[in-house]
């Protein structure tokens, strides 16, 4: 795991490039405190900061091919590096045991076609000194990030974090008013757009090439599997569960590959307990597990985590998180953000606990909900889809009257239903609206005129709508909802926040459920094997029955939620008062200050605890914009 960075700038001399690159590497030192390196050739300088996980004593980067032609910087982990090494060793004299050299050898041998052979999480860049070209790529599901910015002089700057790009001094720090509107809709800015004008996020499963003339092109190298694969479908439920267990054992073994201590996050829920249990069963001795708990009634899940740890015999580490602690740490947490987010605080503290507990790698249960249909969207959206034809047969005036009535309701669910009825015609459009944080009318009200106009032009739907509608032609309802959850909320919020928050503590966070090999096996299986409406995650529970306590397997799903509604009225209130002050809002010209103030005032006066996420989402945007430039 590393932080990578680079500059390709024909009109910038080497000394200036390397000076800017050193600033970039220093800014992301938390991503790789163990080593750092820079190499320059012709118009390019690339560098890295390394967190040594595999073959820690070697693997210095940038890594150069024996003939000096290719220079590689790599962030992530290639889990099948040993298998790939065996296929490449007749063509390559390996000098290390690290996955970085395997990746370099694979690229030298196969070029961009090597991407289809890689199992892991990665972003990497290769400078070709002979062709004077840059090639970069990101893993299929978007676990590891890569950002880039083009400059008017045809130069390109890239890095693992937005803050790193800004530290170069070559990229302007200008917040994009259109991106503000998208952030308020989706909890984050969907790739390829970022919060900053002119900075692009390479989408998951995409590669980038910059030729010697400065022409830039991107293309998708990975996509979701074929929806119908009869030869790969289990014949019955028993065969499915048996196959699922084999796939889960395989992904856990792959994700435990490391030459440093590996631990696990353990919330006490089904997914994290399954991961920890499979790790123990695979031979992980003296496994360390980590969980965050709370004092507040109704939020504390530490009893389940303790029960799971006792059942598995792990060395369990637990920390009770308070509102006062979060309030004191907010300046550090905000400084770690490279974009605002309404989520991720729990990962910050779990990562800190794990790193302080003596591990450099931790496995997380992220991804189980998307695979096994335990979000309400898997139930609600197909139901609503079946009602849409009846709804659209109603007279226009009647529909408008009902929508207006729903929008006038104080409950967020009613206003969200209004958006569904006003803007959705099919399951894709329903799914594109599902993860909205703010109803469209509320979002528009919070934006200043220019940003409001841009938001209206972009429309209420997720920007991936048209792409998904074509990519998922022929998919069943379960696959459509699963794809939307995987490629939007998980990629743009959960995975992005997991990367930023874990790397802030120099912890490599791995997500064995977010594995292309597991996904490719699961994808064509019938939805009635993957999801039982009466018992969500029944298949997963049956597949891991020997490693997960019955009480956890049979428990209804409980989302992991922090006590923010309580903290925001108490310990976090001073921070929020300052954040929503007139002087703070004056530095956010793309927001309507009066509307934002009213949002905060209404939250304090009301008793709807579910409204906290909308207020906190806006607060994080305002606080982010008020950070001192670093």
Q: Are residues 506 and 618 in the same domain?
A: no
Q: Compute the distance between CA of residue 191 and CA of residue 204 in angstroms, rounded to an integer.
A: 8
Q: Are residues 125 and 184 in the same domain?
A: yes
Say if residue 559's pLDDT is above 70. Answer: no
At a CB cut-off of 8 Å and minimum separation 6, what does 16 contact? none
Q: Compute the distance between CA of residue 122 and CA of residue 144 in angstroms, rounded to an integer.
A: 5
Say if residue 67's pLDDT is above 60. Answer: yes
Distance of CA 605 to the CA centre of its chain: 34
**Do the beta carbons of residue 169 and residue 161 sit within 8 Å?**
no
Residue pLDDT, tens place only, 14-30: 999 999 999 999 999 99
Pairing between β-strand 63-64 and β-strand 315-321 as defined by DSSP bridges = unpaired
Of 220, 247, 267, the position where a domain reaches its end is 220
**103 inside domain:** yes
Say if residue 154's pLDDT is above 90. Answer: no
**325 inside domain:** no
Range 578-584, long-range pairs (CB < 8 A, 24+ positions): 579/619, 579/622, 579/623, 579/626, 580/619, 580/622, 584/622, 584/623, 584/626
**352 inside domain:** yes
Q: Compute the distance between CA of residue 492 and CA of residue 344 in angstroms, rounded to an integer.
A: 12
Residue pLDDT, tens place only, 170-181: 999 999 999 999
Structure tokens at 35: 């080593």
Q: Compute the distance between CA of residue 442 and CA of residue 419 in angstroms, rounded to an integer.
A: 11
Q: Are residues 249 and 366 in the same domain?
A: yes
Q: What is the pLDDT of residue 536?
A: 79
Q: What is the pLDDT of residue 221?
A: 97
Residue pLDDT, tens place only, 513-558: 999 999 999 999 999 999 988 887 999 999 999 999 999 988 776 6
For the residues 242-259, what does the mean pLDDT come to?
96
**329 inside domain:** no
Helix axes 612-625, 593-605, angle to 10 degrees: 140
Domains contained in the chain, number: 4
Q: Are residues 89 and 155 in the same domain?
A: yes
**327 inside domain:** no
Q: Are residues 84 and 138 in the same domain?
A: yes
Q: What is the pLDDT of residue 629?
A: 62
Q: Compute the distance between CA of residue 220 and CA of residue 204 in angstroms, rounded to an integer.
A: 8
Q: Are residues 41 and 157 in the same domain?
A: yes
For the residues 287-307, what does the mean pLDDT come to?
85
CB burial of 85-107 (b: ≥16 within 10 Å; e: otherwise) equals beebeeebeeeebbbbbbbbbbb
Q: Compute the distance between CA of residue 496 and CA of residue 204 in angstroms, rounded to an integer.
A: 11
Other residues' Cβ atoms within 10 Å of the Cβ of residue 445:
16
Q: What is the pLDDT of residue 1?
A: 66
Residue 215 backbone class (left: φ over 0; alpha: ψ -120 to 50; beta: rest): beta
Other residues' Cβ atoms within 10 Å of the Cβ of residue 335:
12
Residue pLDDT, tens place only, 323-353: 999 999 999 999 999 999 988 899 999 999 9
Q: Are residues 19 and 137 in the same domain?
A: yes
Of 220, 250, 284, the position where a domain reaches its end is 220
CA triple 506-511-517, angle to 5 deg: 135
Q: Compute the distance between CA of residue 177 and CA of residue 195 in angstroms, rounded to an integer.
A: 8
Best CA proximity match to 566, nearest among 273, 318, 199, 321: 321
Q: What is the mean pLDDT of the chain?
A: 93
Range 136-139, long-range pairs (CB < 8 A, 24+ positions): 136/202, 136/207, 136/208, 136/209, 137/112, 137/202, 137/206, 137/207, 137/208, 137/221, 138/202, 138/203, 138/204, 138/205, 138/206, 138/207, 139/76, 139/204, 139/205, 139/222, 139/516
**Do the beta carbons of residue 88 and residue 30 sit within 8 Å?**
no
Q: Which helix (H) or strand (E) holds 388?
A: helix 376-393
Q: For residue 28, what are the CA distances in angstroms to 49, 161, 268, 335, 508?
A: 7, 8, 32, 12, 14
For the residues 615-627, what does the mean pLDDT come to?
94
Q: Compute the distance between CA of residue 558 and CA of residue 582 in angstroms, rounded to an integer.
A: 38
**630 inside domain:** no
DSSP assignment string, 234-258: -SSHHHHHHHHHHHHHHHHHHHT--
Q: What is the pLDDT of residue 2?
A: 86
Q: Is 386 helix (H, G, I), strand (E, B) or coil?
A: helix
For the residues 135-160, what does the mean pLDDT come to?
95
**328 inside domain:** no
Say if residue 228's pLDDT is above 80. Answer: no
Say if residue 478's pLDDT is above 90. Answer: yes
Q: What is the pLDDT of residue 605?
A: 87
CB burial of 564-574 (b: ≥16 within 10 Å; e: otherwise) equals bbbbbeebbee
Best CA proximity match to 305, nearest among 284, 329, 275: 275
**175 inside domain:** yes
DSSP assignment string, 514-550: S-HHHHHHHTTS-HHHH--TTSTTHHHHHHTTTTS-H
Q: Compute the distance between CA of residue 219 and CA of residue 354 in angstroms, rounded to an integer.
A: 37
Q: For residue 554, what are the CA distances in angstroms to 354, 394, 535, 543, 547?
A: 28, 42, 8, 13, 13
At a CB cut-off of 8 Å and minimum separation 6, what does 88 contact? 94, 102, 105, 106, 109
Residue pLDDT, tens place only, 562-615: 899 999 999 999 999 999 999 999 999 999 999 999 999 999 987 777 788 899
Q: Is 137 helix (H, G, I), strand (E, B) or coil?
A: strand
Structure tokens at 120: 């892991």
For the residues 102-119, what does the mean pLDDT come to?
97
Of 526, 553, 580, the position where a domain reaches its end is 553
**Cα atoms in the Cβ-side hemisphere of radius 13 Å centred on 98:** 24
pLDDT band at 230 (very low <50, low <70, confident <90, very high): confident
Q: What is the pLDDT of residue 558?
A: 61
Q: Are residues 163 and 40 in the same domain?
A: yes
Q: Are residues 156 and 186 in the same domain?
A: yes
Q: Are residues 104 and 165 in the same domain?
A: yes
Q: Are residues 57 and 112 in the same domain?
A: yes
Range of the domain at 162: 2-220
- Note the maximum CA span of the chain: 74
Q: Are residues 239 and 381 in the same domain?
A: no
């Amino acid at each position: 795991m590393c932080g990578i960075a680079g500059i390709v700038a024909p009109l910038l001399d080497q000394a200036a490039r390397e000076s800017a690159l050193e600033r970039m590497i220093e800014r992301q030192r938390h991503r790789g405190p163990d080593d750092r390196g820079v190499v320059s050739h012709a118009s390019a300088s690339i560098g890295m900061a390394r967190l040594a996980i595999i073959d820690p004593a070697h693997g210095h980067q940038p890594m150069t091919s024996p003939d000096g032609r290719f220079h590689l910087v790599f962030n992530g982990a290639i889990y099948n590096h040993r298998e790939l090494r065996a296929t490449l060793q007749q063509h390559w004299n390996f000098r290390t045991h690290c996955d970085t050299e395997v990746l370099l050898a694979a690229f030298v041998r196969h070029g961009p076609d090597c991407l289809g052979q890689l199992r892991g999480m990665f972003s990497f860049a290769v400078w070709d000194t002979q062709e004077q070209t840059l090639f970069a790529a990101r893993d299929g599901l978007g676990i590891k990030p890569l950002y880039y910015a083009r400059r008017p002089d045809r130069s390109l700057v890239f890095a693992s974090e937005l803050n790193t790009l800004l530290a170069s001094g070559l990229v302007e720090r200008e917040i994009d008013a259109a991106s503000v509107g998208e952030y308020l809709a989706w909890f984050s800015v969907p790739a390829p757009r970022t919060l900053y004008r002119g900075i692009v996020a390479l989408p998951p499963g995409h590669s980038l090439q910059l030729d010697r003339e400065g022409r830039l092109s991107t293309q998708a190298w990975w996509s979701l599997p074929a929806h119908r694969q009869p030869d790969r479908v289990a014949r019955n439920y028993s065969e499915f569960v048996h196959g699922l267990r084999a796939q889960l054992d395989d992904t856990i073994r792959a994700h435990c590959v490391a030459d440093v201590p590996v631990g696990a996050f353990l919330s006490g829920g089904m997914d994290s307990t399954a991961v920890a249990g499979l790790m123990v069963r695979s031979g992980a001795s003296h496994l360390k597990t980590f969980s965050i708990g709370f004092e507040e009634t109704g939020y504390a899940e530490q009893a389940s985590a303790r029960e799971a740890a006792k059942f598995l015999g792990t060395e369990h580490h637990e920390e009770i998180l308070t509102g006062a602690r979060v309030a004191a740490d907010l300046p550090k947490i905000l400084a770690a953000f490279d974009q605002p987010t309404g989520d991720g605080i729990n990962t910050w503290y779990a990562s800190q606990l794990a790193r302080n507990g003596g591990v450099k790698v931790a496995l997380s249960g992220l991804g189980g909900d998307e695979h096994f249909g335990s979000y309400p969207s898997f139930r609600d959206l197909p139901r609503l889809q079946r009602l849409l034809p009846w709804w659209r047969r109603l007279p226009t005036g009647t529909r408008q009257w009902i929508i207006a009535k729903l929008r006038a309701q104080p409950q967020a669910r009613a206003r969200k239903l209004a958006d569904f009825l006003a803007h959705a015609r099919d399951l894709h459009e329903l799914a594109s609206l599902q993860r909205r944080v703010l109803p469209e009318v509320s979002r528009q009200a919070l934006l200043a005129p220019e940003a409001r106009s841009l938001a209206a032009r972009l429309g209420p739907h997720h920007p991936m709508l048209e792409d998904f509608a074509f990519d998922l032609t022929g998919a069943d309802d379960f696959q459509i909802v699963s794809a939307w959850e995987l490629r939007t909320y998980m990629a743009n919020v959960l995975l992005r926040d997991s990367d930023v928050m874990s790397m802030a503590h120099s912890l490599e966070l791995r997500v064995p459920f977010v594995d292309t090999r597991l996904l490719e096996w699961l994808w064509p299986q019938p939805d009635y094997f993957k999801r039982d409406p009466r018992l969500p995650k029944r298949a997963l529970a049956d597949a891991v029955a020997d490693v997960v306590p019955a009480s956890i397997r049979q428990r209804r799903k409980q989302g992991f939620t922090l006590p923010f509604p309580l903290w925001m009225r108490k310990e976090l209130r001073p921070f929020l008062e300052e954040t929503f002050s007139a002087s703070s809002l004056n530095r956010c010209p793309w927001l309507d200050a009066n509307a934002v103030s009213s949002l905060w005032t209404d939250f304090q006066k009301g008793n709807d605890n579910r409204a906290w996420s909308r207020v906190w989402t806006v607060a994080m945007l305002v606080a982010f914009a008020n950070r001192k430039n670093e």
